[in-house]
A and B are shown apart, each in its own frame.
Chain A
Amino acid sequence: MTVHISTLNDRTTVPENSKSSLNTQEFFINMGPQHPSTHGVLRLVLKMDGETIREVIPVLGYIHRSIEKICEHNTYRQIVHLTDRMDYLSAVMNNWAVSMAVEKAAQIELTDRIEYIRTILAEMQRLQSHQLWWGVTGMDLGAFTPFLYGFRDREMLTDIFEETMGARLTLNYIQPAGLMFDIHPDFVKKTKDYLKYFKPKLEEYEALLSANPIFQQRLRDVGILDREKAVSLGATGPVLRACGIPYDLRRVEPYGVYEKVSFKIAVGSVGDCWDRYSVRMEEMRQSIQIIEQLIDNIPEGKFITKKPAAKITIPEGRYYSQMETARGVLGVLIVSTGKEKPYRFHLRSPNFNNLWTITQMAPGSRLGDLVAMVSTLDLVIPDMDR
């Protein structure tokens, strides 16, 4: 893969292999950082030949906050609070990933209650993340109504989260050794009510957007990513599974109580935008199933196993753990020297790797297709610009 930022200076070139008798010139255009469909502050420099994309060059760094470096100056309990600011749509999973790394290293045992609640919340968060993604995808492709439908349904989950966790976006609930506090007394009932409400809504989603021929035409055979490229670029999550590779950490390296529930891994076959769309739609159904299997069986027990000490120390060594977030694999690497703060803290974020697949998918397609591609990659920019 070759990406030369230096080509930015190469402004006026006649397209190679141009069959046109017209004297056309390639031009550069900036998509972002404030572009409506670059989902935050992503900047894509496009080399265009009319409406056809010749090259896409992602430029990052507009929201960089040095989270990894800040983490190295904080204790393990404090680190957790920074992670939900990265991929804010997978806040619970991010918290869990770091907590899990610390728990493994410090060999902290957890009760079943903690594992159940964590798993349920992670699936609820996945559902919520996919709802927002669905709405945004509709909006990116010119249909504004789905955006508000997605938000309407997301809002109700947010209310449930608010009752239990006290926050609406940057959820901060999972901590090493357990949870911040126990679930709200209404949590189980409200979650069950919500699932009852949302199941027919998911069918509405399908009728409004998935069944629309224009929408299908915009996604099918657009932005095809072949398996080899997906793997070599380190793509994970729905982006990888859409290529037909059933790699899902919830199955491959189960954590929480995923071993106790039955669910299908959604996979695509072609690896185009439509497959990425379908995979996420199926994942919503599977998340509902997982929650349904667990919600009535949350065991009694402690919600935290160790007295919440301000300082947890972990033995000297390198520790790595990973988690399947809504967008793919989030890896946490901790290098410990046995002190209360990590010597080196590194995150492997799913969005960063998924983004680079766009450099392989986009060339040769139209500008409108790029919007579909960015949309179905489901990017959260603060997660790449850590």
Chain B
Amino acid sequence: MSTSPWEVESIAHRAASAFQQGHVVSTVGYLMLGLLLTASLMTVVGIVLIYAERKVAAHFQCRLGPMRVGWHGVLQPLADAVKLMLKEDLVPAKADKILHLLAPYLSLVATVLTLSIIPLSPSFQVVDLNIGIVYVLAVTGVGVLGVLVGGWSSNNKWSMLGAMRAGAQIISYEVSATLSLLVIVMLAGSLKLSDIVMSQADGWWIWKGHGVSLVAFLLFLISSTAELNRTPFDLPEGESELTAGFHTEYSGMRFAFFFLSEFVNMFVASAMMATLFFGGWMPFHIGQWEFFNAVMDWIPPFVWFMGKTSFFIFVYMWFRWTFPRLRVDQLMLLEWKVLLPIALANLLLASGVVVSGFHF
């Protein structure tokens, strides 16, 4: 399929081959590397995105944002983390204590599990599952459990309303998100993320797919925003309506966990858009232009990946600091009466495109 020189080797794959050759130390080393990569990615992404969000917001709003702690406030997220850790850990007297304590971890776990599968570069991917996309969709669906449990166990009516909204919203929009990703699965002919990236060596799916992938991309952009609980779909939180929604009763680190998972989820969604529609770590290639393609290959794949992902993260932030919030019934109407029919029709059209071999 591809003419590119890239060879994908995930960390899990390396650990497996080391194990087969009997190198126990290397196997353990690779497994540790995988864990470390996932954990550090989680931390770094969280910290960088929190800083980025504040700076982006500040510039949208004609102000400076954090400026005092470190150069242009770069150490502010660390200061925030210290503050959050020192805060009192509150559990409401009549809350369901075990579930209340468990909920933030449920959210976090769902996020961590997806991080391991993201192809950061050909040599930098923890696991390369052959059911990659199905795995991502299944695991991100667990995140809603944390929100639901958190809102329900808080014994607060506002939290309860927020949790109910979140449940309805995230599960509904999951449908459109899945249908739009299926378009790329059909075009690429694989569920494996590395295969999907490789299939874009001669051009990204966003324009190879003759419009159907563009529609799928827009659908995914909208429905993933809803799944991330970000403006204009931030109803579960809805601070002006529900005071703070599902996390009203959370303080300190537990509150931070909810937000950390939201930010990392934003990274995951952006990474998925970059990977599926814009070639992931694959450089920008044009058909037979050998020289141009060679120049593009000079830029490391990791930089390509991060560049594309950062752009989509910026788009999410742009949404957040521009749009007002929808109302709960308008939100549902948008999904079930607008996005879903379009997604279904698009999927049908895409199957036509694939069967007729109409794509590039």
| Chain A residues in the interface with B (C-beta under 8 A) | 27, 29, 35-37, 51, 138-145, 148-149, 152, 208-209, 212, 214-215, 217-218, 366-371
Take A36-B243, A139-B240 as given contacts and tell me if A218 and B324 are in contact as well, using a CB distance cutoff of 8 Å.
Answer: yes
Residue contact B325 to A152, C-beta cutoff 8 Å: no
Take A145-B61, A145-B322, A148-B63 as given contacts and tell me if A140 and B327 are in contact as well, using a CB distance cutoff of 8 Å.
Answer: no
Take A142-B234, A142-B238, A148-B61 as given contacts and tell me if A51 and B324 are in contact as well, using a CB distance cutoff of 8 Å.
Answer: no
Residue contact A144 to B321, C-beta cutoff 8 Å: yes
Residues on the B chain within 8 Å of A51, using CB: 161, 165, 328-329
Docked Cα-Cα span, A35 to B328, in Å, equals 19
Residues on the A chain within 8 Å of B240, using CB: 36-37, 139-142, 371
Task: Give B272 Cβ to nearest chain A Cβ, in Å.
Answer: 25
Take A148-B63, A149-B61, A371-B240 as given contacts and tell me if A142 and B325 are in contact as well, using a CB distance cutoff of 8 Å.
Answer: yes
Residue contact A143 to B157, C-beta cutoff 8 Å: no
Q: Helix, strand, loop or mixed for chain B's interface?
A: loop
Residue contact A368 to B232, C-beta cutoff 8 Å: no
| Chain B residues in the interface with A (C-beta under 8 A) | 57, 60-63, 157-158, 161, 165, 231-232, 234-235, 238-243, 321-330
Residues on the A chain within 8 Å of B243, using CB: 35-36
Nearest 9 A-B pairs (CB), nearest first? Answer: A142-B325, A143-B324, A141-B324, A368-B327, A148-B61, A37-B240, A140-B240, A215-B324, A142-B324
Docked Cα-Cα span, A51 to B60, in Å, equals 33
Docked Cα-Cα span, A369 to B328, in Å, equals 10
Docked Cα-Cα span, A349 to B84, in Å, equals 44
Residue contact B324 to A148, C-beta cutoff 8 Å: no
Residues on the A chain within 8 Å of B323, using CB: 142-143, 212, 214
Q: Which of B241, B321, B326 has the most CB of A within 10 A?
A: B241
Residues on the B chain within 8 Å of A208, using CB: 322
Contact partner of A217 among B62, B165, B234, B326, CB < 8 A? B326
Q: Which of B158, B161, B323 has the most CB of A within 10 A?
A: B323
14 further A-B contacts with Cβ under 8 Å, apart from A142-B324, A368-B325, are: A51-B165, A142-B232, A143-B323, A144-B61, A145-B57, A148-B61, A212-B323, A214-B232, A214-B325, A218-B327, A366-B328, A368-B238, A368-B241, A371-B241
Docked Cα-Cα span, A367 to B326, in Å, equals 12
Residues on the A chain within 8 Å of B57, using CB: 144-145
- Give the A-B pair count, Cβ closer than 8 A: 82
Write 30 A-B pairs (CB below 8 A) sorted by A numbering.
A29-B157, A35-B243, A37-B240, A51-B328, A140-B240, A141-B324, A142-B231, A142-B238, A142-B323, A143-B325, A144-B61, A145-B57, A145-B321, A145-B322, A148-B61, A149-B61, A152-B62, A208-B322, A212-B322, A212-B323, A214-B323, A214-B325, A217-B326, A217-B330, A366-B329, A367-B161, A367-B328, A368-B238, A368-B325, A371-B240
Residue contact B327 to A212, C-beta cutoff 8 Å: no
Nearest residue, chain A, Cβ from B158: A29
Residue contact A143 to B231, C-beta cutoff 8 Å: yes
Task: Give B124 Cβ to nearest chain A Cβ, in Å.
Answer: 36
Docked Cα-Cα span, A142 to B326, in Å, equals 8
Docked Cα-Cα span, A142 to B331, in Å, equals 14
Residues on the B chain within 8 Å of A144, using CB: 57, 61, 321
Residues on the A chain within 8 Å of B239, using CB: 36
Nearest residue, chain A, Cβ from B234: A142
Residues on the A chain within 8 Å of B241, using CB: 37, 367-368, 370-371
Residues on the A chain within 8 Å of B321, using CB: 144-145
Residue contact A138 to B324, C-beta cutoff 8 Å: yes
Docked Cα-Cα span, A246 to B60, in Å, equals 38
Docked Cα-Cα span, A139 to B61, in Å, equals 13
Q: Which of B161, B232, B327, B329 has the most CB of A within 10 A?
A: B327
Docked Cα-Cα span, A148 to B62, in Å, equals 8
Task: Give A370 Cβ to nearest chain B Cβ, in Å.
Answer: 8
Residue contact B60 to A366, C-beta cutoff 8 Å: no
Residue contact B60 to A368, C-beta cutoff 8 Å: no
Residues on the B chain within 8 Å of A366, using CB: 327-329
Docked Cα-Cα span, A36 to B326, in Å, equals 18
Task: Give B85 Cβ to nearest chain A Cβ, in Å.
Answer: 26
Docked Cα-Cα span, A174 to B302, in Å, equals 66
Task: Give A372 Cβ to nearest chain B Cβ, in Å.
Answer: 8
Nearest residue, chain B, Cβ from A38: B240
Residues on the A chain within 8 Å of B161, using CB: 51, 367
Residues on the B chain within 8 Å of A27, using CB: 157
Residues on the A chain within 8 Å of B61, using CB: 144-145, 148-149
Docked Cα-Cα span, A69 to B119, in Å, equals 72
Residues on the B chain within 8 Å of A37, using CB: 240-241
Take A141-B324, A208-B322 as given contacts and tell me if A149 and B62 are in contact as well, using a CB distance cutoff of 8 Å.
Answer: yes
Residues on the B chain within 8 Å of A369, using CB: 327
Docked Cα-Cα span, A319 to B325, in Å, equals 48
Nearest residue, chain A, Cβ from B320: A144
Docked Cα-Cα span, A114 to B161, in Å, equals 54
Task: Give B238 Cβ to nearest chain A Cβ, in Å.
Answer: 7
Nearest residue, chain B, Cβ from A29: B157
Task: Give A146 Cβ to nearest chain B Cβ, in Å.
Answer: 9
Take A140-B240, A217-B330 as given contacts and tell me if A145 and B325 are in contact as well, using a CB distance cutoff of 8 Å.
Answer: no
